[in-house]
Structure 1
Amino acid sequence: MKDLIKNLKGDKVIWSFVALLALFSFMPVFSASSNLAYLGHGTGNTLGYLLKHLAHICIGFLIIYLVHRVPYHYFRAISKIGLPVVWVLLAYTLIKGTVIAGANASRWIQIPFVGITFQTSTLASLMLFIYVARYLSKTREEPVDFKESLKELWAPVFMTLILILPANFSTTALIFAMVIMLVFIGKYPVKYIGVIIGTGVVALTFFVLIGKAFPDSRFFSRVGTWSSRIENYTTDKPDEDDYQIEKAKIAIASGKLYGLGPGKSVQKNFLPQSSSDFIFAIIVEEYGLVGGFLVLGLYLLLLFRFVIAAHKATTLFGKLLVVGLGFPMIFQAMINMAVAVELLPVTGQTLPLISSGGSSIWMTCFALGIIISVTKKEDEIIQEQQDAAKREEALQKIIDRELAGEKAENSEDDYSIEEKNENPMKAVFGK
């Protein structure tokens, strides 16, 4: 264990907060999965869901460990290559329209042969934020040409958003808001940002109007859901989302200050998404306002640590990476908690590192691995370079030794042939 901790580079405080959130997640997930267990096999045994969550968390930490060993500047090229690949995946996801538990889930694809579902928008947002950070760090020293930036920056951004929007409005809105924040921090001209925001609003309005005109079209099928959620949020009209919010509010009210106790939640049996979208309500019901504020505090401390990491980063690309990958994680957590207390309409955003799920946990961990890579100290980087040089030197010695051995064998064989040619009797009788 000591050797493993020694191999953990980068900001140890970020490592600690991430570990605390992951460890805390086990009890709420174990408790909140009971309704899924009853629906799935009727026994209510949530041990299988706990083990599944454990596997997801373990794979997630392995991803953090592997990614944080990679120098973060490598992701410049990866984002440029990865973005077109992501577009293909998003288009495939949109066309495929995976059905999960009888419901349309066109934001997911199923990986063949392993039976794992994957939300491609999480990978797309990650690649897009890295790409935007790359562009801003590249053009910082030069005056921004708006026409050029339309082609190099905004065309890829809107291409990604267009492919996510039909299936997932909340994720599209979050990504767009985070990109705007990132370009603002990257000192992209404010007057151009205003033009882009206006263009985005007009494009969204146009998309919604088309969706209203063709409600039966599969491409615009989610427009009705968005409208009903907003209408339900602003009026008292009963709806399925209203049912979820009511149960979430009952759970929060039942928790009071100290909660009902671990595993004693009642509303987990009625909330359809109790282990994912509404897990914060279950946390407050079981651990009270104390537990709720503890979770909120951990996210805020993690945000504060991201700010410090961005400030300490030695390159502009590193600073923008921390902001572009870290801040959306915290905003997503805030949105999830705001939905649970009805400050926002139902969005379907999970609570990072706590909600059950595979791809959402893994992509969060991928982002954390890059952030931690940025936070490596100079001495850690030098040590890694020295270790790599030592490995390369050792490998070269092995190669040289092998080549020397082959050369010696060839020389010996040549000598034997010459000796046998000079003494034919020795070649026949061996003496």
Structure 2
Amino acid sequence: MSVQFGDTLILPRSDESHLTEWRRSVDWQIMIAALSLLGLGLMLSLAAGPPAAERLGLDDAFYFVKRHSVFAVAAAVGLVAASMLDAVWARRISAVVFCGSFVMLTAILIIGHEAKGAHRWIEIGGFTLQPSEFAKPALIVLSGWLLAQRQLFPGGPWAVVALVFYVVTLGLLLLQPDVGQSALLTAAFIVTFFVSGLPWKWASIFFGGGVALSLTLYALLPHVRYRVNSFVNPSEYDTYQIDKASEAIARGGLLGVGPGEGTVKTHLPDAHTDFIFAVLGEEFGYVAAIALIGLITFICWRGLRAASRVRDPFPRAAAAGLFALFGLQAAINIAVNVSLIPPKGMTLPFISYGGSSMLGIALTLGLALALIRRQSAAAWREHG
């Protein structure tokens, strides 16, 4: 029997419906922080969207704002829906998503939409979709499950199978080429592997392979070589975008120049995507930039802490990898904006414009919340 107090409905402990169980066990602090990021992204789209539409000669100045709003609503729905899954269904959905993404990653090499010299998108019904955004979280969940099977069935080649899935996916990303997403996927995969009990021999293999691959990419891909060289010797190369982003953040100072008063969004073609952090820093200042970083850090810290307390090895490793995936993507974007690393062409989670990015991040955090959700109801009360 439920009890009504004003406008609040108090559900009894005996209510065992799926919705009630989800409401009791989901980590609401992470959920609210994630939805806050979506709201902040909507606000910043009002600042950076119209100049981007004007540069492209679009008749509707709010073209990107409207699309961003639709993507944000879809991402919020996807985040909540994914967080309602249990561990078994999280694995099943991830398997389906990975298979679909794998097919599209392969198709991209033949019929993919080219932009900026790379084939990373595929056109579906008038929309462009970036399959790598969905392949990343799906692969992390599947890898976490495969690696967990070593404890149940020690004789199986589980680690090798997980490594094969990773290597094949990595190869498809590098053929596009997409070095930034490849590096991000590699880092999250290593976290998943490490949490599941990475042996030292595997660690040495990853390290040696990473060094060899980095040198090979530097030697074979001109745009990788250019980005690294321009970062090491900026005076000898065109670093216009990085310089403008850094100058905008410095111009914003402590409190910013004011909403709508920034100028970097009129100078950078990717101000509404890769360099949205510079728009935030210029118009709202260091205080807002630090608050954003704090919000992202809180999600990662709380999520990783929750994952570390899960007893089941599958959700523990997979959730850790997913939260690492989210946090590392944000860190890479911000580091590029403040000239700490070479430009990567990576979005800021839930903030930058981009439907594939927002939906992919929603899937990432939603699955992570689902995997720690069972633990939230019991262990949170024990550990606080």
* TM bracket (short chain): 0.7 to 0.9
CA distance in 1, matches of 2:225, 2:140: 28
Match of 2:240 in 1: 243
The worse-fitting range, judged by mean Cα deviation, of 264-273 and 231-240 is 231-240
Asked if 1:137 is matched to 2:148, the reply is yes
SS of residue paired to 1:276: coil
Match of 2:119 in 1: 106
Q: Return the letter of the residue paired with 2:187.
A: A
Superposition deviation, residue 311 in structure 1: 3.1
Match of 1:155 in 2: 164
SS of residue paired to 1:262: coil
Match of 1:365 in 2: 362
CA distance in 1, matches of 2:150, 2:374: 26
Question: Which structure 2 residues correspond to residues 197-216 of structure 1 after superposition, within 5 A?
Answer: 197-206=207-216, 209=219, 211=220
**Structure 1 residue ranges without an equivalent (≥5):** 212-222, 382-431
Kindly report the root-mean-square deviation, in angstroms, between the aligned alpha carbons of the 2 structures.
2.5
CA distance in 2, matches of 1:328, 1:365: 12
CA distance in 2, matches of 1:173, 1:379: 31
Asked if 1:117 is matched to 2:128, the reply is yes
The worse-fitting range, judged by mean Cα deviation, of 317-326 and 53-62 is 317-326
CA distance in 1, matches of 2:369, 2:148: 19
CA distance in 2, matches of 1:134, 1:160: 17
Superposition deviation, residue 151 in structure 1: 3.8
Summarize deviations over 1:208-249 as a string: whole Å, max 9, x none.
54x3xxxxxxxxxxx111110001000134545x11011101
Match of 1:47 among 44, 62, 82: 62
Match of 1:297 in 2: 294
CA distance in 1, matches of 2:184, 2:110: 23
Asked if 1:61 is matched to 2:59, the reply is no
Q: Return the letter of the residue paired with 2:249.
A: I
User: Relative to 1, partners in 2 of residues 1:34 and 1:14: Cα closer, same or farther, differing over 3 Å?
Assistant: same
Match of 1:177 in 2: 187
**Structure 2 residue ranges without an equivalent (≥5):** 1-6, 12-18, 379-384
CA contact (8 A) 1:182 1:323 kept: yes
Summarize deviations over 1:336-355 as a string: whole Å, max 9, x none.
11100100000011100111
Max Rg structure:
1
Superposition deviation, residue 142 in structure 1: 5.7
Match of 1:193 in 2: 203
SS of residue paired to 1:107: strand
Asked if 1:228 is matched to 2:226, the reply is yes
Asked if 1:326 is matched to 2:323, the reply is yes
User: Relative to 1, partners in 2 of residues 1:49 and 1:80: Cα closer, same or farther, differing over 3 Å?
Assistant: closer
Superposition deviation, residue 361 in structure 1: 0.3
Summarize deviations over 1:107-136 as a string: whole Å, max 9, x none.
11111x3x1111111111112101110112
Match of 2:138 in 1: 127
User: Relative to 1, partners in 2 of residues 1:259 and 1:351: Cα closer, same or farther, differing over 3 Å?
Assistant: same
Superposition deviation, residue 334 in structure 1: 0.9
CA contact (8 A) 2:109 2:119 kept: yes
CA distance in 2, matches of 1:207, 1:23: 38
CA contact (8 A) 1:27 1:262 kept: no
User: Relative to 1, partners in 2 of residues 1:363 and 1:42: Cα closer, same or farther, differing over 3 Å?
Assistant: closer
Matched positions, count: 360
TM-score, scaled relative to structure 1: 0.77
CA contact (8 A) 2:350 2:361 kept: yes
Match of 1:403 in 2: none
CA distance in 1, matches of 2:207, 2:310: 29
CA distance in 2, matches of 1:69, 1:142: 29
TM-score, scaled relative to structure 2: 0.86
Match of 2:4 in 1: none
